[in-house]
């Protein structure tokens, strides 16, 4: 039984007993005295009990540690977790590249590439560097594979897409080679004719005049090439800064056609211009003028003599559509995807004969991209070629 040691409770009991005795002495009924005494004792006992402290069990904190699968899904590049040479986890990028079946599959079967299998079976992975895989996914794709050893038998395989950087490097190498070739040819002609003139051929006035005319043509060719290279470089440098000048494209088309008409001789009479009322486009006037010179000039050069060159300008939704169509020999389908590459020519001999540098359509493509527009080239062999350009209209504030 619990001991009653609180002095306040003892005092309360003493008072209750005294009250009961006093009630009895004063003639109170025994039953009443007994009830008073029992109630006082019960109250004292209840007060003596110490309340049990309320202990609240702490609520366990939720486990916020991310799972391995969740971590892998947060990586945009293909990543696989390998355990005992089997794929235990793979993110969505890896499943898209290699297939959803790779889970719990032998990694050498999941990544079907001889160089990958050899790398994954290497004894000393710490010393081995990344390897390059060609043809994984699609035939032209290039990947860089890294293998990182983890605790135990686990390894992390990381695939990095290097297709874009490889293509850019190849374009740079090709560009330097092509530019060097395009400059070397006319330069060799100039040096050869200068040497011939110095050796005495210049004494004949007719021969000297013929040589000087050829030299002048080669020098102009070099100048056009250098001008186009500088122009292309400037356009590429500004490609991330969209122009915002309001340009009346209809007036600019008339102006360019007028200049080409004066320079084109009899061929200029074949120009057919149809301009509908359009909203001014958002653009760079100088670059759009260059675009028109290149596209319309090409149609005049490569279209058959005496056939029309149709230049049409019309609105198309929130865009303005420019179309230039010629009646020439046309271009075979296999050449169309490469027409806007630098120095790409369908017929190199004919291009040189008409004074082309091989950069005209590449410049056009970069100008259209900078103006946030679209370029399409359609051609039928024996019928002709149509170049269509869509440019966004400038919204009036």
**pLDDT tens profile 125-151:** 555 678 888 888 888 889 999 998 888
Q: What does the pLDDT read at residue 273?
A: 92
Q: Residue 77 class from Cβ within 10 Å (0-12 exposed, 13-18 middle, 19+ buried)? A: middle
Q: How confident is the model at residue 120 (pLDDT cuts 50, 70, 90)?
A: confident
Query: Cα separations (Å) of 227 from 187, 201, 230?
Result: 16, 32, 5
User: pTM to 2 decimals?
Assistant: 0.58
Q: Residue 191 class from Cβ within 10 Å (0-12 exposed, 13-18 middle, 19+ buried)? A: exposed
Q: What does the pLDDT read at residue 2?
A: 47
Find the angle CA(241)-CA(336)-CA(176) to the nearest 5 degrees.
Answer: 60
Highest mean pLDDT among 63-77, 232-246, 248-262: 248-262
Strands 309-316 and 374-380: unpaired
Alpha carbon dihedral 286, 289, 291, 296, in 10-degree steps, equals -170
* Residue 87 pLDDT greater than 80, yes or no: yes
Q: What does the pLDDT read at residue 24?
A: 55
């Amino acid at each position: 039984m619990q001991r009653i040691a609180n002095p306040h409770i003892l005092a309360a009991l003493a008072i209750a007993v005294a009250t009961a005795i006093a009630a009895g002495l004063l003639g109170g009924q025994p039953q009443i005295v007994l009830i008073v005494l029992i109630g006082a004792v019960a109250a004292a006992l209840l007060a003596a009990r110490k309340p049990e402290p309320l202990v609240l069990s702490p609520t366990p904190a939720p486990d916020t540690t991310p799972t391995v699968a969740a971590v892998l899904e947060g990586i945009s590049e293909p990543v696989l977790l390998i355990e005992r040479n089997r794929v235990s986890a793979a993110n969505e990028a890896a499943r898209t590249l290699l297939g959803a079946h790779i889970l719990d599959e032998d990694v050498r079967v999941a990544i079907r590439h001889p160089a990958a299998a050899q790398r994954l079976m290497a004894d000393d992975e710490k010393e081995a560097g990344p390897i390059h895989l060609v043809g994984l996914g699609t035939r032209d794709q290039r990947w860089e594979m890294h293998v990182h050893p983890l605790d135990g038998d686990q390894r992390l395989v990381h695939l990095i897409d290097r297709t874009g950087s490889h293509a850019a490097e190849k374009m740079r190498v090709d560009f330097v080679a092509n530019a060097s070739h395009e400059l070397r040819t006319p330069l060799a002609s100039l040096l050869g004719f200068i040497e011939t003139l110095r050796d005495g051929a210049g004494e004949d006035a007719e021969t000297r005049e013929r040589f000087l005319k050829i030299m002048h043509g080669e020098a102009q060719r070099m100048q056009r090439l250098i001008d186009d290279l500088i122009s292309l470089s400037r356009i590429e440098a500004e490609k991330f800064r969209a122009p915002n000048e309001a340009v009346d494209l209809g007036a600019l088309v008339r102006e360019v056609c007028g200049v080409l008409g004066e320079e084109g001789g009899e061929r200029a009479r074949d120009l057919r211009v149809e301009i509908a009322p359009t909203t001014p486009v958002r653009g760079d006037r100088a670059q759009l003028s260059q675009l028109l010179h290149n596209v319309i000039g090409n149609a005049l050069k490569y279209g058959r003599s005496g056939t029309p060159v149709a230049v049409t300008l019309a609105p198309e939704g929130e865009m303005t559509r420019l179309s230039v169509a010629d009646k020439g020999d046309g271009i075979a389908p296999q050449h169309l995807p490469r027409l806007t590459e630098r120095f790409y020519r369908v017929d190199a001999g004919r291009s040189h004969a008409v004074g082309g540098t091989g950069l005209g359509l590449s410049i056009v493509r970069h100008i259209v991209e900078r103006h946030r527009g679209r370029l399409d080239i359609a051609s039928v062999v024996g019928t002709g070629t149509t170049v269509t350009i869509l440019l966004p209209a400038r919204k009036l504030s």
